[in-house]
Structure 1
Amino acid sequence: MNSKQRVQNLLDFIDVSPSPWHAVNTIQQKLLDCEFVRLNEHERWHLKQGGRYYVIRDDSSIILFVMGQKPLVETGFKIIGAHTDSPGLRLKPNPVMGVDNFVRIGVEVYGGPILATFTDRDLSLAGRISYRSDQGISTKLVDFTRPLLRLPNLAIHMNRTVNDDGLKLNKQLELPLLFSLVKDQITPQQQFLTTLAEQAEVDASAILSWELNVYDTQKGAFWGAEDEFYADSQLDNLASCHAGLTALLNDKVLQADATLVCAFFDHEEIGSSTSKGADGSFLSDILQRIGMTADERKGEEYQRALASSFMISADMAHAYQPNFPMAYEPDHKVLVNHGPVIKVNANHRYATNSVSEALFASWCEAVNVRYQKYAHRTDLPCGSTIGPLTSARLGINTVDVGNPMWAMHSLRESAGVEDHAAIIEVMKWFFLH
């Protein structure tokens, strides 16, 4: 499969995964096709050598693993971590406002999106609802798929300085999304709830709550003179999830000696300190249970396995944008289509140390993939990843890496076609060696 085909698979993956809940559902379908078995945290586990398993916590975080051919204490865990969520807008519990003959939908800001990129786009809603059913409280995924909402810009005649000062949106007053005109025969609240109920195919009176994500309905696309770039929503960080998943679901990798793990967490964009986030107990709970079931909890065996483990924290990296040279550290300008990026920060905003950095570089060299190194501009605050959180919680040596991309946290992000296939090859090597 060539690089462009790899990216087309990625775009297809993203376009059917408009929310973290949908992303996990998409991953689950791929796992079922490869004969993975779902495990329930409430039940006793019986794991087998070479067995393929996965665990979902609260619908939007998932850990999948393959039991190795050799004892865990000899090989340790080989882990790739990423996150399923992206910054954006989420509906409030009581979102409907009927004002000035318009029905508007109130939203909260989730994480740190570039708000201006939500204007003048064909927006829709996706996520999950909770409702009464014969079984008690049930949940269901919802995706409207069609343009449903819009945030129209103010005309330049009424905002004369927008091109000089930039578009600034008041989060409380100017982010509500236009949904409809007010109707005489139905209240705005009933209108919205009826629309939601019809899409979910449940009775409106049964709906109790929702977690709904605003997303752009435009599909992913290639661009550039030779289609060397691609654009889509949620590249940060579904591109890393897709790369890790693709690497794991390789026929040779599935027969690996070591126990292999992919951990894809929700809530990274808001700090990860939740029951299903990377700073929660999810990964440590699953690794401990693997160790217990693999009879590796006797004495110091589990701790020895952890000490022999390694984790790749995969999250997208800031590619150099030549229109804004002053935003980058002059000697660390990483370029799209020049290979994966090793992210380094002296204050440990990234988990990379000199040993993990050297290891990842050697894996790139082993598969003839170029690599780059990134350090953030010293006078700008540096972002972080799940890497430092999981490394500290588990005591596992970790490297922070990712592919270079433009417009991180925009509703429409871009990256290079060659890089996605490259990082998949490095991840496959990591799993196998």
Structure 2
Amino acid sequence: MSAPSRFDRGHTDDLMTFLAASPTPYHAVANAAERLEKAGFRQVAETDAWDGTAGGRYVLRGGAIVAWYVPEGAAPHTPFRIVGAHTDSPNLRVKPLPDSGAHGWRQVAVEIYGGPLLNSWLDRDLGLAGRLTLRDGTSRLVNVDRPLLRVPQLAIHLDRSVTAEGLKLDKQRHMQPVWGLGDDVRDGDLIAFLEETAGIPSGQVAGWDLMVHSVEPPAYLGRDRELVAGPRMDNLLSVHAGTAALAAASATPDLPHIPVLAAFDHEENGSQSDTGADGPLLGNVLERSVFARGGTLEDRARAFAATVCLSSDTGHAVHPNYAERHDPTHHPRIDGGPILKVNVNNRYATDGSGRAVFTAACERAGVPFQSFVSNNAMPCGTTIGPITAARHGIRTVDIGVAILSMHSARELCGARDPFLLANALAAFLQG
């Protein structure tokens, strides 16, 4: 298969803007919603009655978004075509009692979220962002996007064993960032600082969901700028591509399906939440769409039986320094096009019929694709794919973009692959 003849670097430029503006899942879904609004979508509340008229709609819940476009004349049993992704990334998150410190240092107490490469967070300029919940029940996004915190590494002179034994980090003792000086650590200091930063009256914040992020912006890398280095590619790269694909599909006449974007939170720790793929959000939205168009349970069953989901998440490109960790016959390459993920033990949901669906989308888009399977001697990761298939009875295919440094504070992909993925997803949603 030949790739699109013209590589649109503008798509990758826009991805980098999206990554920089989305330090948390809450910011990511707000940015996706803003892009969909420009394409004519409108937000609907889960507590309101829904109508079945044609057009684009979306639901926001916490760090998740589900958006869909109903074409003119769609029947109640019209099937869905879904792009699934997740908004969360491994990082450091602020504890309920955030103010701590010792020996003249002021620190922020953090908990480890997901499975980050801890060493990648050391000696890095870090900001702080997330969601503040006020006493009246409303919430505000906050983003301190400047060097505010740092997790300082111990000097080699004080730990000579690093040379022989390698770096060993204790998640509790070694990962607490510093953010100032002083022996008088007062409860409420961090939240008071964030209230002032966000322009919120003192004492109005009743709860918070805050996380640390690197303030170094995404950047092109390499001799010919053929690589992109940046944060949270796992998995905002797919959220961005899915948003662009859905906007493109909504402008396509005579759609035979209802295109959907489902970007969930909490994939990195099991998806078991009201905003995770193992929660009821997607199923509720799809069912309500069927019923709003006058459908019955029979129509719902017919629609789900013909529905297909592409679970889009980043995967592993072959690493030049660790090629032996990969399957010897499957070496996905950077900028080789999206990868089709396969695991016969259902850690990925792809089967032969799913491969045919993805192949057809790539052929229609003129996009090359690659296959990924884990080394038999290595454990295989998983995605929202098997969860979506099992929970909703929906045929699901696992795909994504091959990257290096997965779960690092700063990951690496090809400059062309995001564009190729977005084209494949658009062809799938328009199919």
Question: What residue number does 2:110 align with?
Answer: 107
Whole-angstrom CA distance in 2 between matches of 1:163 and 1:23: 40
Choose 341-350 or 423-432, whichever is displaced more. Answer: 423-432
Question: What residue number does 1:361 align with?
Answer: 359
Q: Offset of 1:68 from its aligned partner?
A: 2.4
Choose 175-184 or 98-107, whichever is displaced more. Answer: 175-184
Choose 163-172 or 101-110, whichever is displaced more. Answer: 163-172
Whole-angstrom CA distance in 2 between matches of 1:183 and 1:204: 23
Whole-angstrom CA distance in 2 between matches of 1:163 and 1:340: 38
Return the match for 1:243 from 226, 241, 254.
241
Q: In the alignment, is residue 13 of structure 1 matched against residue 52 of structure 2?
A: no
Whole-angstrom CA distance in 2 between matches of 1:244 and 1:295: 28
Q: Offset of 1:191 from its aligned partner?
A: 3.2
Give runs of aligned pairs for residues 20-39 of structure 1, distance below 5 A.
20-39=25-44
Whole-angstrom CA distance in 2 between matches of 1:166 and 1:230: 28
Q: Offset of 1:74 from its aligned partner?
A: 5.9
Whether the 8 Å CA contact 1:98–1:188 is kept in 2: the answer is: no
**Any idea what the Cα deviations from partners look like across 1:262-288, whole Å, max 9, x if unmatched?**
000001111001111000000000000
Q: In the alignment, is residue 122 of structure 1 matched against residue 121 of structure 2?
A: no
Q: In the alignment, is residue 83 of structure 1 matched against residue 74 of structure 2?
A: no
Question: What residue number does 1:374 align with?
Answer: 372
Question: What residue number does 2:3 align with?
Answer: none
One-letter identity of the residue aligned with 2:155: A
One-letter identity of the residue aligned with 2:270: G
One-letter identity of the residue aligned with 1:229: L
Structure 1 residue matching 2:31: 3-state secondary structure: helix
Structure 1, unaligned runs of 5 or more: none
Q: Offset of 1:12 from its aligned partner?
A: 0.1
Whether the 8 Å CA contact 2:103–2:183 is kept in 1: the answer is: no
Q: Offset of 1:75 from its aligned partner?
A: 4.1
Whole-angstrom CA distance in 1 between matches of 2:9 and 2:214: 23
Whether the 8 Å CA contact 1:248–1:254 is kept in 2: the answer is: no
Structure 2 residue matching 1:46: 3-state secondary structure: coil
Q: Offset of 1:36 from its aligned partner?
A: 1.2
Q: In the alignment, is residue 224 of structure 1 matched against residue 222 of structure 2?
A: yes
Whether the 8 Å CA contact 2:106–2:183 is kept in 1: the answer is: no
Q: In the alignment, is residue 41 of structure 1 matched against residue 46 of structure 2?
A: yes
Return the match for 2:344 from 346, 365, 374.
346
Whether the 8 Å CA contact 1:193–1:204 is kept in 2: the answer is: no
Whole-angstrom CA distance in 1 between matches of 2:322 and 2:250: 43
Whole-angstrom CA distance in 1 between matches of 2:164 and 2:34: 48
Whole-angstrom CA distance in 2 between matches of 1:409 and 1:190: 31
Question: What residue number does 1:332 align with?
Answer: 330
Whole-angstrom CA distance in 2 between matches of 1:70 and 1:306: 18
Choose 158-167 or 206-215, whichever is displaced more. Answer: 158-167
Structure 2 residue matching 1:103: 3-state secondary structure: strand
Whether the 8 Å CA contact 2:249–2:430 is kept in 1: the answer is: no
Whether the 8 Å CA contact 2:76–2:294 is kept in 1: the answer is: no
Choose 368-377 or 237-246, whichever is displaced more. Answer: 368-377
One-letter identity of the residue aligned with 1:100: H
Q: Offset of 1:333 from its aligned partner?
A: 1.0
Q: Offset of 1:69 from its aligned partner?
A: 3.2
Whether the 8 Å CA contact 2:66–2:261 is kept in 1: the answer is: yes
Give runs of aligned pairs for residues 29-428 of structure 1, distance below 5 A.
29-49=34-54, 51-57=55-61, 59-72=62-75, 75-132=78-135, 136-182=136-182, 187-250=185-248, 253-255=251-253, 256-297=255-296, 300-428=298-426
Change (3 A) 1:190 1:387: closer
Q: How many residues align?
A: 425
Q: Offset of 1:190 from its aligned partner?
A: 4.3
One-letter identity of the residue aligned with 1:34: A
Structure 1 residue matching 2:423: 3-state secondary structure: helix
Whether the 8 Å CA contact 2:348–2:398 is kept in 1: the answer is: yes
Structure 2 residue matching 1:192: 3-state secondary structure: helix
Whole-angstrom CA distance in 2 between matches of 1:75 and 1:307: 10
One-letter identity of the residue aligned with 2:285: I
Q: Offset of 1:204 from its aligned partner?
A: 2.9
Whole-angstrom CA distance in 1 between matches of 2:339 and 2:162: 35
Whole-angstrom CA distance in 2 between matches of 1:194 and 1:409: 31
Change (3 A) 1:67 1:339: same
Q: Offset of 1:35 from its aligned partner?
A: 2.2
Structure 2 residue matching 1:388: 3-state secondary structure: helix
One-letter identity of the residue aligned with 2:56: R
Whole-angstrom CA distance in 2 between matches of 1:251 and 1:157: 58
Q: Offset of 1:252 from its aligned partner?
A: 6.3
**Runs of 4+ with deviation above 6 angstroms:** none
**Any idea what the Cα deviations from partners look like across 1:321-364, whole Å, max 9, x if unmatched?**
11011211111111001111000001100010111012212321
**Any idea what the Cα deviations from partners look like across 1:71-93, whole Å, max 9, x if unmatched?**
34564101000000001110000
Structure 2 residue matching 1:40: 3-state secondary structure: coil
One-letter identity of the residue aligned with 1:192: L
Whole-angstrom CA distance in 2 between matches of 1:40 and 1:194: 32
Q: TM-score, normalised by structure 1?
A: 0.95
